[in-house]
Amino acid sequence: MIPIKLPKEQKDEMIEELQSFFYEERGEEIGTIAAERLLDHMMHRFAPYIYNQAVRDAKAAVNEKLSQVEDELYALERPVNRR
């Protein structure tokens, strides 16, 4: 899988979120380096699962829209008069 490259601002925000989580949930303070390593590990290990689920969700959304378009096109058909 292609590694995910996050903008620095986004990665920094995620690191802060991890630090807050550890403090609020476990009462532990972890440093920036530890939080960054944890984030990198989690992204490496779990990103494929999340990515694949996102692809499945997108496929379902596209199929839903395609079904709606097919219904709308069917509704536009005109009856054929046969003699």
Nearest to 26 by CA among 14, 18, 34, 15: 18
Q: What are 1-31's pLDDT values in tens digits?
A: 667 788 999 999 999 999 999 999 999 999 9
| DSSP letter string, 35-56 | HHHHHHHHHHHHHHHHHHHHHH
pLDDT at 83 over 80: no
For residue 79, what pLDDT band results from cuts at 50, 70 and 90?
confident
Q: What are 27-64's pLDDT values in tens digits?
A: 999 999 999 999 999 999 999 999 999 999 999 999 99
Integer CA distances (angstroms), 54 to 27, 59, 76, in order: 33, 8, 33
